[in-house]
Amino acid sequence: MDGTIKIEETQPAETRIPRRAMRNIGLLGFCQALTQGSNTLMFASSALAVLTIVSPDMRIWANLPVTMQHLGVMLSVFPASMLMMRRGRRFGFRIGSLAGMFGASCSALGLAHGSFPMMCCGGLILGYAVANMQLYRFAAVELAPPKFRAQAISYVTAGGVFAGILGPTLARWTPDLWVPMFQASFVSVIIIHAIVFTVLSFIEFPTVRAEDVAGPQRPLLEIVTQPAYMVAAAGSMIAFGVMSFVMAASPLAIKLCGLPVTEAPITIFAHVMGMFVPAFFTGHLIQRFGTFNMMTVGIALLIGGVAVALMGTTEWHFRIALSLNGVGWNFLFVGATTLLTTTYRPSERGKAQAFNDFMVFGTTATGSLMASVVLELGGWAQLNYLAFALVCIAMLVIGVYRLRAPARV
């Protein structure tokens, strides 16, 4: 037995997730919504806040606090995941909320004192909170029966719809509530994480079982070199990498293209709606049409987003391009996550999930850092050509796997 769970591409349409499980998934989706909303607020505000305290020659590093956040995620996924394996999901997620409050406090103080290094430090600490948020989708799998795996992931991801309203709304209305500008945005993040800390108390997470911690485990290398695991990880990496690369650059690109700064929250709103509205039905689509078919559709939509971005730089070019980018991310990422959950045993989930997210956020950290650099040196068009190249890699990886394992298509 190799520990791989065979994925089922179709399930009976008449069955539903049990009510109690749905309640827990709903609360977890609410936490996802709040945390993702605060993360969206940071994406929309951080680079613009940095511009208020740095000299013009430092503008190229405006996205560094966001990049430090991605680096924090990459460094945090292993300790966060292993802590939950030993102490449970609730304990681990609440530690993540505390990290969110502390990191946002550092960012607010850094802005108040005009300290760019302190803002970067805040971003790094916030990375631990985001690392925990990314584990919500795996926790959702544990809250529902196995045959509802794709739906549970999809429903929790759908919490981002509320995030798509909350984040851009706060990004639009909080920057000038008081001086210095954008400090109220960071205070909002503190409040959001405090609410999440409280809501987590009402979710009935499974208790930690001895067999899940001390059960038989394969070496990590054996797990991650499974073809299905490699395809799932590559899909997640490229979905998040391309999304982060384009999303991180868009507020700065909007300003450089001569559009009003108020357009940035609108475009981010359209992007986040594209990311999360499809999550209400992505799980059902995966069950009906298959994991790999939906991942392929996601790749096609990402390519469509690049094509629209290259057609022009008006408000609607940005809005449509970022919307397509978001929908493409949803199909590719949810499909890849569903596939990943079939490649490990319960006792292996901590390290298997952590390694996947380590690779994913290593990619997003690089993409976020390169976004402002590529934008400054090459422009919006060059940035989208690079995004297209990354998407082509995902298309190649999935295409090769489908040819070699047609039974799983």
**pLDDT digits 0-9 by tens, 65-100:** 887 887 888 888 889 988 988 888 999 999 999 999
Q: Which CATH number goes with the domain that contains 64?
A: 1.20.1250.20
CA nearest to 77, candidates 15, 137, 167, 153: 137
> Is position 4 within any domain?
no
Measured CA to CA, the distance from residue 144 to residue 152 in angstroms comes to: 7
Quick: pLDDT tens for 228-266.
999 999 999 999 888 888 887 888 788 888 888 778 878
> Is position 209 within any domain?
no
The predicted model gives 6-34 an average pLDDT of: 73
For residue 4, name the pLDDT band (cuts at 50, 70, 90).
very low
Quick: pLDDT tens for 357-406.
888 877 877 777 777 778 878 888 888 998 898 898 888 888 888 777 65
Helices (H), 158-290: 160-173, 183-199, 210-214, 220-224, 227-256, 263-276, 279-289
DSSP code at position 206: P
> Is position 147 within any domain?
yes
Instruction: Indicate left, alpha or beta for 211 from its phi (over 0: left) and psi (-120 to 50: alpha).
Output: alpha
155 and 100 Cβ atoms separated by less than 8 Å: no
Q: Angle, nearest 10°, between helix axes 183-199 and 116-134?
A: 30
> Is position 345 within any domain?
yes
Measured CA to CA, the distance from residue 332 to residue 238 in angstroms comes to: 9
Q: What is the pLDDT of residue 400?
A: 82
> Is position 12 within any domain?
no
Name the one residue in this structure whose structure tokens are 């038989």. Answer: 216
Quick: pLDDT tens for 177-187.
887 888 899 99
213 pLDDT higher than 70: no
Number of domains in the chain: 1
> Is position 210 within any domain?
no
Measured CA to CA, the distance from residue 102 to residue 75 in angstroms comes to: 17
> Is position 7 within any domain?
no
128 pLDDT higher than 90: yes
Measured CA to CA, the distance from residue 123 to residue 358 in angstroms comes to: 17
> Is position 214 within any domain?
no
Q: What is the pLDDT of residue 354?
A: 85
Range of the domain at 179: 19-203+219-408
